[in-house]
């Protein structure tokens, strides 16, 4: 029993952490007024970037740095298209997904001359310094450093929105860009910050997948987690703790799937593998609020190129 | 007087069409240019790569028919995306709807036995019904529960993928070692249009018919008018008594049927059974197809041919220029990115025209 709980808890952290990173980024972007359906793409490209960095320097921390840079680069494309050009945000997001899957496939062949997956690279599966702690040390040290880094990001994001002027301004440009501009704020700069922040967070989320819980990149390894993150943002009602909780909730269903597979329940694997996706749909249907419109200004471009309604 | 007004209106329409075409061409060229930089950055020769892509797609008569054949599924998924888009619904679930359509066609084709005049239409209809059924869930969730269509259609893609995998490996696994369903009856196979070695079947004609049908639905029926009204301005449509939610619901169902048809034609036309992971993103390719065509059904014929050409030429590009097939995903992504500059281009064209008038 204790083993089961420990397994599920540990697997929930492992599966939920990448979703949580990405969801925190998605939340920040949406609060500033730019929807980012392309989180999946950011995760894919940075999962690949992490492997490249880790491979080139034979150091997993350099992998994290690479992943963040790639995440920022991909989200910069989204910023340019959605904020400066006033393009449709959902459409641009799909471009990110195509670009990212494409680039990682091309990169796999060009850099490693491999198809489908990369060679094994240095990874960060455990946090050994925590081993010394009595009772829980064993459990804590078995978690990836990404899990602890998430704690920092969580606090930083919470602090940003709760206690800083920047956070308040982000919320303002998201809710009412025209009023914000009248008050002298730069809508574009603030929105760029929001979207690039989602690049940093999505980068960490992607890196966790390839060099946190594994030690290589595989095509299709993100497997919809970017969209689960998107669901977590909605379900968490754009609130840091709510979003974190929702991400872990989705992580739990992935953990449950792994657990059921490991104890070999007599259900076909394919149905067990459906669990996270089905659960997301069911949970969103159960929690969706018919009246709530979310962030007032989200999804609408604010540039001179598009007539404001 | 009235005649004169008519002519200026036509000229305006012509100008608008020209501008739209210009935007698409600019986006395509910019994407190919940046794509060339990417190919160069990854250490291959862009001219060689594009040359091989062209050669693979149009180099021989047979290759050209392959290109036409590859255009069929993306033409239909492109239509699927476009119909939904016209009504402000972003259906990124065409992939799953296509899979379910293909599955239904494979089952009806292999397990129902009828003369061809009945069997073939039944198989095709089954694929459309299955695609529609698969889009029904996201549609009803949107209508009743206000669940984001983007998220639910994506989730149903994954669910379809696992469901089809289960059916292929489990209850409906065909004879032999390979993970595939049984081959469908000859009575359920689409006849070839050209003698071998050319590969073109009746599916191409069906796809063109679907284009015409979609055009008629959108532009010649009152339902289509309502859908477009919702897409242009939902609040205005609502004020004018149009049921916005009902139209979005229907648009998603029609979209699903078209994507299902794409799967049905793949099975009855070329594959004759389902192998595991056969679809390779036909559903997602529908998005650039629809966007490049600005959701115009007839323009989709051409944009689908373009994407079909990329798909059929990519293998040769990989083998002779050494750049991964995935490069065509990069190019498609770039096309979408540059299409998003539409507002910028329109702004400058309009301002220049305006400036001239004042001067």
Q: Which residue of B has its CA nearest to A96?
A: B333
Residue A92, min C-alpha distance to chain B (Å): 6
Q: Which residue of B has its CA nearest to A105?
A: B326
Task: Please indicate whether, in this complex, the C-beta atoms of A99 and B291 are within 8 angstroms of each other.
Answer: no
Say how far apart CA B330 and CA B17 lie, in whole Å: 27
Q: Which of B146, B150, B346 minimises the CB distance to A290?
A: B146
The closest of B135, B137, B109, B136 to B121, measured between CA atoms, is B109
Q: Can you state the angle between helices A60-79 and A39-57, rounded to 10 degrees? A: 150
| pLDDT by 10s per residue, chain A, length 309 | 788 999 999 999 999 999 999 999 999 999 999 999 899 999 999 999 999 999 999 999 999 999 999 999 999 999 999 999 998 888 899 999 999 999 999 999 999 998 889 999 999 988 888 888 888 888 888 899 999 999 999 999 999 999 999 999 999 999 999 999 999 999 999 999 999 999 999 999 999 999 999 999 999 999 999 999 998 998 898 999 999 999 999 999 999 999 998 888 888 889 998 998 998 899 888 887 655 557 888 888 888 888 765
B320 interfaces chain A, CB cutoff of 8 Å? no
B146 interfaces chain A, CB cutoff of 8 Å? yes
DSSP B20-38: HHHHHHHHHHHHHHHHHHH
Q: Which of B145, B332, B337 minimises the CB distance to A288?
A: B145
b/e code A210-244 from CB counts within 10 Å (16+ = b)? bbbbbbbbbbebbbbbbbbbbbbbbbbebebebbb
Instruction: Give pTM, 2 decimals.
Output: 0.92
Residue A292, min C-alpha distance to chain B (Å): 10
pLDDT in tens, A218-261: 999 999 999 999 989 988 989 999 999 999 999 999 999 999 98
Task: Please indicate whether, in this complex, the C-beta atoms of A37 and B323 are within 8 angstroms of each other.
Answer: no
Coil, helix or strand for A218? strand
Contacts of B148 in chain A (CB under 8 A): 230-231, 234, 284
Q: What is the mean pLDDT of each run of 10 residues along chain B (359 residues)?
A: 55 86 93 96 94 95 94 96 94 95 96 95 97 96 88 94 93 86 93 89 96 96 94 92 94 97 95 83 91 94 95 92 93 94 88 57
Please name every residue paired with A282 in a beta bridge, in sequence order, or none if there are none: none
Please name every residue paired with B192 in a beta bridge, in sequence order, or none if there are none: B201
> Any idea how long chain A is?
309
B236 interfaces chain A, CB cutoff of 8 Å? no
Q: Kindly tell me the sign of the dihedral angle through the C-alpha atoms of A104, A108, A109, A110.
A: positive
Task: Please indicate whether, in this complex, the C-beta atoms of B339 and A81 are within 8 angstroms of each other.
Answer: no
The tokens for A224 are: 């919809």
pLDDT at A308: 67
Question: Of chain B residues 66-95, which have a CB less than 8 A from chain A?
Answer: 90, 92
The answer to whether A226 and B155 have CB atoms below 8 angstroms apart is no
The answer to whether B297 and B45 have CB atoms below 8 angstroms apart is no
B258 vs A127, B89, B227, CA distance in Å? Answer: 51, 15, 16
| DSSP state for residue B178 in the 8-state scheme | S
Q: Which residue of A has its CA nearest to B340?
A: A87
- Tell me which of A227, A235, A237 to substitute to probe the interface with B (most B C-beta atoms closer than 10 Å): A227
Task: Please indicate whether, in this complex, the C-beta atoms of B343 and A284 are within 8 angstroms of each other.
Answer: no
């Amino acid at each position: 029993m204790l083993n089961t709980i420990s397994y599920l808890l540990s697997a929930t952290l492992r599966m939920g952490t990448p979703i949580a990173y990405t969801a925190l980024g998605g939340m920040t972007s949406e609060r500033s007024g730019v929807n980012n359906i392309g989180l999946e793409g950011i995760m894919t490209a940075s999962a690949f970037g992490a492997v490249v960095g880790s491979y080139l320097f034979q150091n997993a921390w350099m992998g994290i740095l690479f992943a963040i840079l790639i995440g920022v680069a991909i989200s910069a494309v989204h910023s340019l298209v959605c904020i400066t050009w006033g393009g449709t945000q959902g459409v641009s997001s799909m471009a990110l997904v195509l670009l990212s899957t494409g680039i990682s496939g091309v990169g796999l062949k060009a850099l490693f001359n491999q198809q489908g997956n990369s060679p094994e690279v240095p990874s960060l599966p455990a946090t050994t310094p925590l081993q010394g702690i009595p009772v829980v040390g064993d459990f804590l040290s078995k978690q990836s450093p990404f899990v602890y880094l998430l704690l920092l990001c969580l606090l930083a994001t919470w602090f940003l929105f709760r206690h800083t002027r920047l956070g308040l301004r982000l919320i303002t440009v998201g809710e009412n860009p025209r009023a914000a501009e009248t008050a002298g704020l730069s809508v574009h700069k603030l929105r760029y910050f929001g979207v690039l922040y989602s690049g940093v967070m999505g980068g960490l989320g992607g890196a966790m997948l390839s060099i946190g819980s594994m030690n290589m990149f595989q095509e299709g390894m993100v497997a919809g987690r970017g969209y689960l993150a998107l669901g977590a943002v909605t379900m968490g009602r754009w609130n840091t703790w709510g979003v974190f909780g929702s991400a872990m909730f989705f992580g739990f269903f992935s953990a449950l799937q792994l657990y059921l597979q490991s104890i070999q329940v007599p259900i076909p694997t394919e149905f067990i593998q459906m669990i996270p996706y089905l659960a997301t749909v069911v949970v969103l249907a159960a929690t969706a609020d018919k009246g709530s419109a979310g962030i007032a200004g989200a999804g609408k471009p604010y540039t001179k190129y598009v007539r404001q309604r | 007087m009235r005649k004169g007004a008519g002519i200026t209106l036509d000229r305006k329409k012509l100008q608008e069409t020209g501008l739209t075409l210009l935007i698409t061409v600019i986006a395509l060229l910019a994407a190919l240019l940046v794509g060339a930089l990417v190919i160069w950055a990854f250490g291959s020769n862009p001219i060689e790569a594009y040359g091989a892509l062209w050669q693979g797609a149009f180099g021989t008569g047979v290759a050209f028919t392959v290109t036409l054949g590859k255009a069929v599924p993306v033409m239909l998924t492109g239509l699927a995306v476009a119909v939904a888009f016209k009504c402000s619904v972003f259906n990124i679930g065409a992939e799953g709807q296509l899979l379910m359509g293909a599955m239904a066609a494979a089952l009806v084709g292999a397990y129902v036995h009828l003369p061809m005049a009945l069997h073939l239409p039944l198989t095709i209809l089954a694929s459309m019904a299955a695609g529609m059924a698969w889009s029904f869930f996201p549609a009803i969730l949107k209508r009743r529960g206000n669940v984001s269509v983007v998220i639910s259609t994506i989730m149903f893609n994954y669910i379809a993928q696992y469901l089809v995998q289960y059916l292929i490996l489990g209850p409906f696994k065909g004879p032999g070692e390979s993970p595939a369903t049984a081959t469908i009856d000859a009575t359920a196979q689409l006849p070839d249009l050209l003698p071998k070695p050319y590969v073109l079947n009746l599916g191409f004609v069906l796809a063109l018919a679907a284009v015409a049908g979609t055009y008629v639905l959108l532009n010649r029926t009152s339902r289509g008018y309502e859908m477009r009204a919702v897409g242009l301005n939902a609040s205005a449509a609502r004020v004018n008594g149009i049921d916005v939610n009902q139209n979005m619901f229907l648009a998603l169902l029609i979209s699903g049927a078209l994507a299902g048809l794409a799967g049905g034609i793949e099975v009855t036309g070329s594959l004759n059974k389902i192998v595991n992971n056969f679809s390779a993103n036909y559903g997602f390719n529908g998005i650039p197809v629809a966007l490049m065509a600005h959701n115009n059904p007839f323009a989709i014929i051409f944009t689908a041919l373009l994407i079909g050409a990329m798909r059929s030429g990519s293998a040769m590009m990989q083998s002779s220029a050494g750049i991964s097939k995935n490069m065509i995903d990069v190019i498609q992504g770039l096309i979408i990115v540059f299409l998003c500059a539409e507002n910028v281009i329109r702004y400058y064209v309009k301002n220049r025209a305006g400036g001239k008038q004042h001067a």
